[in-house]
Amino acid sequence: MYTIALIPGDGIGKEVVPAAARVLEATGLPLHFVELEAGWETFQRTGNALPPETVEALRGCHSALFGAVSSPSHRVHGYSSPIVALRKILDLYANLRPLISAPLSSAPLSSAPLSSAPVPGSRTGVDMLVVRENTECLYVKQERLEDGGDRAIAERVITRRASERIARMGFALAQKRQKAKVEGKTGLVTVVHKANVLSLTDGLFREAALAVAGEFPGVAVEEQLVDSMAYRMILEPQRYDVVVAPNLYGDILSDAGAALVGGLGLVPSANVGDSFVLVEPVHGSAPDIAGQGVANPIATIRAAGLLLAHLGENGTAQRIEHAVQSVLADGPRTKDLGGSAGTEDVTREVIRRFRDLEI
């Protein structure tokens, strides 16, 4: 029996998490769900965005499916993002974001008026995994003001330990994926940095990651400066396999990557530690469409698939991905993909196709 925490959070999190939980239920695996609270609404009601009961209950689970939380764009006394805190509390040191081509044309699917959001298409042949360090870099949030507020300073922390363990995870995943074939090796890890300018911090990240490469002689390794990485990733995303990056670069590259493969409504991520996995869609709480039943559930359904893969249920995880790909190809599609279906229509169809794939 797997105990899985469901943390819907705010906005469309309350719509897409129940949708993905239904897909999980339909797998027939022995799952036990525990629903927990966190987020802006929880903060407004209780004064705490991450109540101690939630943290306590999470310690009794294997894994969690997180929706999204709303964060105010101004500073609110006592509020801090629960997802950032959870990554720290549960030591979820790796953020994995698979970017896989979706069967969507790159042209808009409907004659949407110019004022509406663009419908993202998808590049073909993309299958890459961004492995982002999730605990340090600029995200240690050591900021201060000087000079009467006219000078702002942020501290950036890179350690050998965190760099080695994220690199080790990247190489191990490349070995497992068996994707790129380069010079007689299987699997390619691209180490991203900016060590030509930040020779101490990025220099340490680079040195630690390249040292780990020696433990994986069968996997190819290359390095790429982050700015040229952004350029090449857009030009030829198909050439990449596993991309290992410090926190901030990984965050930015993986959002850019989402735009290459169908947009925010489709892309999941997993926050992984040695003994816990917390999965989530990449998107936020989307207050502009919350409560209307039109949110695309696919990113969260895919996140549920990542969760199962991390629990070792690879066959079921693959079946979920096949069902998703099949629904993306023929519809129904939600509005963000140019369609007119609701969250419920898409969820029901994913479940139906998942069952059809049963042998």
Catalog residues that contact ligand NAI under the rule CB under 6 A: 12, 16, 68-71, 83, 117, 264-265, 280, 283-289, 295-296, 299, 334, 336
Contact flags string 225-254 toward Mg ion, x per CB under 5 A: --------------------------x---
Please compute, for residue 65, the number of CA atoms within 13 A of its CA located in the half-sphere on the CB side.
35
Q: Among ligand NAI, Mg ion, none, what binds residue 202 when CB lies within 5 to 8 Å by partner kind?
A: none
The Cα 19–Cα 24 span in angstroms is: 9
The Cα 239–Cα 255 span in angstroms is: 18
Q: Among Mg ion, ligand NAI, none, what binds residue 328 when CB lies within 5 to 8 Å by partner kind?
A: none
Q: Which is nearer to ligand NAI, 118 or 312 (CB)?
A: 118
In the complex, the smallest distance separating the C-beta of residue 323 from Mg ion, rounded to whole angstroms, is 27
What's the start-to-end Cα distance of the chain, in Å? 23
Q: Which is nearer to ligand NAI, 36 or 69 (CB)?
A: 69
Total number of residues that touch Mg ion (CB under 5 A): 1
Q: Which is nearer to ligand NAI, 42 or 285 (CB)?
A: 285
Q: Considering Cα of 74, then 266, then 271, then 191, what sign does the dihedral take?
A: negative
Residues annotated catalytic, as ranges: 139, 194, 227, 251, 255
Q: Which is nearer to Mg ion, 136 or 251 (CB)?
A: 251
In the complex, the smallest distance separating the C-beta of residue 83 from ligand NAI, rounded to whole angstroms, is 5
The Cα 213–Cα 99 span in angstroms is: 23
Contact in structure between 19 and 301 (CB atoms under 8 Å): yes
In the complex, the smallest distance separating the C-beta of residue 39 from ligand NAI, rounded to whole angstroms, is 8
- The helix-helix angle for 247-260 and 226-235 (nearest 10°) equals 10
Q: Among ligand NAI, Mg ion, none, what binds residue 83 when CB lies within 5 to 8 Å by partner kind?
A: ligand NAI
Listed residue (277, 287, 253) closest to 267, CA to CA: 253
In the complex, the smallest distance separating the C-beta of residue 215 from Mg ion, rounded to whole angstroms, is 30
Listed residue (235, 264, 229) closest to 249, CA to CA: 229
- Residue nearest ligand NAI, Cβ-based: 284
Q: Which is nearer to ligand NAI, 283 or 310 (CB)?
A: 283
Q: Which is nearer to ligand NAI, 224 or 334 (CB)?
A: 334
Listed residue (172, 96, 91, 89) closest to 132, CA to CA: 96
The Cα 117–Cα 98 span in angstroms is: 24
In the complex, the smallest distance separating the C-beta of residue 327 from ligand NAI, rounded to whole angstroms, is 14
Region 128-147 residues binding Mg ion, contact defined as CB under 5 A: none
Q: Among Mg ion, ligand NAI, none, what binds residue 136 when CB lies within 5 to 8 Å by partner kind?
A: none
Q: Among ligand NAI, Mg ion, none, what binds residue 117 when CB lies within 5 to 8 Å by partner kind?
A: ligand NAI
In the complex, the smallest distance separating the C-beta of residue 154 from Mg ion, rounded to whole angstroms, is 17
Residue type, 186: T
Listed residue (312, 323, 310, 322) closest to 95, CA to CA: 310
The Cα 83–Cα 286 span in angstroms is: 16
**CA-to-CA separations, 118 to 111, 230, 338, in angstroms, rounded:** 10, 21, 9
User: Contact residues for Mg ion (CB under 5 A)?
Assistant: 251
